[in-house]
Amino acid sequence: MITISIVSHGQSALVEQLLADLAKLDMSMITEVLVTLNIPETIVFKPGDYPYPVSVLRNTAAMGFGANHNAVFRQAKGEWFCVMNPDIRLPDNPFPILIEESERHSAGAIGPMVVTPGGMIEDSVRQFPVLTSLVAKLFGYGDGRYIFAAGDETFAANWVAGMFMLFRTGDFRAIDGFDEAFFLYYEDVDICARLWKSGRSVLVCPKARVIHNAQRSSRRNLRYMKWHALSLARYLYKHWGRLPRTTGQQME
Q: What is the pLDDT of residues 99-157, one digit of tens each?
A: 999 999 999 999 999 999 999 999 999 999 876 666 666 666 767 889 999 999 999 99
Question: d(Cα 88, Cα 50) in Å, to the nearest integer?
Answer: 18
Q: What's the pLDDT at 105? A: 93
Chain centroid to Cα 27, Å, comes to: 21
Q: What's the pLDDT at 157? A: 96
Q: What is 72-111 written as a DSSP string?
A: HHTT--SSEEEEE-TTEE-SS--HHHHHHHHHHHTEEEEE
pTM value?
0.91
Q: How deeply is 23 buried, as exposed, middle or buried, from its count of CB atoms within 10 A (0-12, 13-18, 19+)? A: middle
Q: What's the pLDDT at 248? A: 45
Regions of the chain short of the pLDDT cut 50:
218, 248-250
Q: What's the pLDDT at 220? A: 62
Indicate the length of the chain as a whole number.
252
* CATH class belonging to 2-239: alpha beta
- Closest C-alpha among 148, 159, 150, 241 to residue 192: 159
- Closest C-alpha among 85, 66, 76, 70 to residue 164: 85
